[in-house]
Amino acid sequence: MSYDEVEIEDMEWNEELQAFTYPCPCGDLFQITKEDLRIGEEIARCPSCSLYISVIYNMEDFQGK
């Protein structure tokens, strides 16, 4: 089960990571790339713990980008 559901608009684009990020309770960041979103992935994972979130977004916004 995901830790939370987060709208893509509530996430921040991180140029260094080339990913959308959202704060994780462990102190790190949930991450998901534009490529992940383009292929229909909706899970953003934290690299430091086992938590993940479901990202709510319109897939059409990432097609062909």
At 30, which CATH number? 3.10.660.10
User: Tell me: the pLDDT tens digits for 17-50?
Assistant: 999 999 999 999 999 999 999 999 999 999 999 9
Query: What residue numbers bound the domain in which 21 lies?
Result: 4-62
The answer to whether residues 22 and 10 touch, using CB atoms and an 8 Å cutoff, is yes
| pLDDT for position 64 | 67
| CA–CA separation, 36 and 43 (whole Å) | 9
- How many domains in the chain? 1
Strand partners, 21: 12, 31
Cα separation of 42 and 49, whole Å?
Answer: 18
Tell me the backbone φ, ψ of residue 23, rounded to 5 degrees.
-60, 135
Q: What is the pLDDT of residue 63?
A: 77
